[in-house]
Structure 1
Amino acid sequence: MYIKQEEYLPLAKDLIASFSRDLLLFAEEDHNYTQAYKDAFQSKITEVEQKEASNTALVQQKQATQALYLLGEDLKKPLKSLRIRIERAGIPTNLTTQILTDIKKRNFEGVGSKLTDLISLVNAHLTVLQDKGMKSTIPQDLQNFQLAIAAKADEQTQFMKKVAGIIGTQKELYDGLYKYISEICEDGKLIFEGQQKADEYIIKKMLAKLHVDKVKSGEGKEIGGA
């Protein structure tokens, strides 16, 4: 399962909370899961956290990424409303669905390019869409979202370039953290197989929860009143 660099630390923090609670059950499965193992995992988390906190470019990259996620979440509702008007108008397109899929996949390059096509489509069918209940502000709202996403994506890219060189020298550090994550998740899935608790050790589900939690904890909005 691919884990983005900025996801390692929050993923590890969530995991160690579950692992600490279930340590005795892990020890029954494998005698190597000791208090010393847990302490070493915590030390690795702390080491990565301190490295990231001292990396200004990485902090800024994370902020830009979070802002993109929030923009995507804010865009969902007007897109869903517009999709209903488009369907009622009988306009043959699935652009809104494609953009919603790109938002879910965090593909903001795709979101930006498809918004261009969607804006053109809306302007070409303005009268019929408004007759079907589309808000008159939608064309401008979409334009505002497109500009904001493009600007924030460019900002994120610039920070990522700065971070890339630094992260390359710290690969061993993240590899060490991943070793703990992969081992614990592999056994956790087995120990709690068939139970709801197993979700706490399935990386794909942990990442999905992490994305939701990030959006819920986000502050402010990039597009006022959108």
Structure 2
Amino acid sequence: MMHQYFLYDKNVFFTEGMKTVLCDFIDQQSAISCSDSFSQLVNVLEDVNNDKHINWILCDLDSLPSDRFTVLSTLKKHYQERHKKLVILLNKSSLPFFFALYSLLPNANWLLKSESIKSITTFFKELLNSKQENNCFSDTLTRYIRKELRNNNADRIISSDELWLIEEIFKGKSLSQIAHEVSVDVRRLSLIKRHLMRKLKIENNIALFNAFKVLIAPSP
């Protein structure tokens, strides 16, 4: 079966490097396309697959638009379709948020962009040979997950609910406004926010913004 690769990333240097790595081991019938256009990414996701090829969609987290939860929900809706495989590309700055991201996209595959060429090649070879239901994680990311679990750092893991609330706050909304929009008691949202700030040892909103700005892009 033919494989088609689509790489969404705004970093042209990484894109060219990834194309070189992929071309070294994929067969000649496979096609590779790249774009920094989110609309083109959506078109690829929404394309009705005809079972004649497998679509590999490589998506850089940092290149996504600012409304991350809506975007990630779009990814989740489409990548689970037959013959569509999603690989999320992460920078090291996103590691503290990995478990929250994984809870949103539990069937995706995860590659840390700072991996060596050897590790990236190994990752894709394992991915191509893995069973459909298996997830693949790059070497450094695997070590990070094991370390966090081994050190019992579950109390520092950021949940998807906490990440969602922070994104809504980043849009300039008050807790009361958010509570009204989603029909949730504002006291529950306040509790989530206070718990998160204690978890991260953060005392004010400025520090909270600085902690999350590497992941949640500010709205234009």
TM-score (structure 2 length as normaliser): 0.28
Q: Which has the higher contact order (CA 8 A, sep 6+)?
A: 1
Bigger Rg over Cα: 1
Which structure has greater helix proportion? Answer: 1
Which structure has greater strand proportion? Answer: 2
TM-score (structure 1 length as normaliser): 0.27
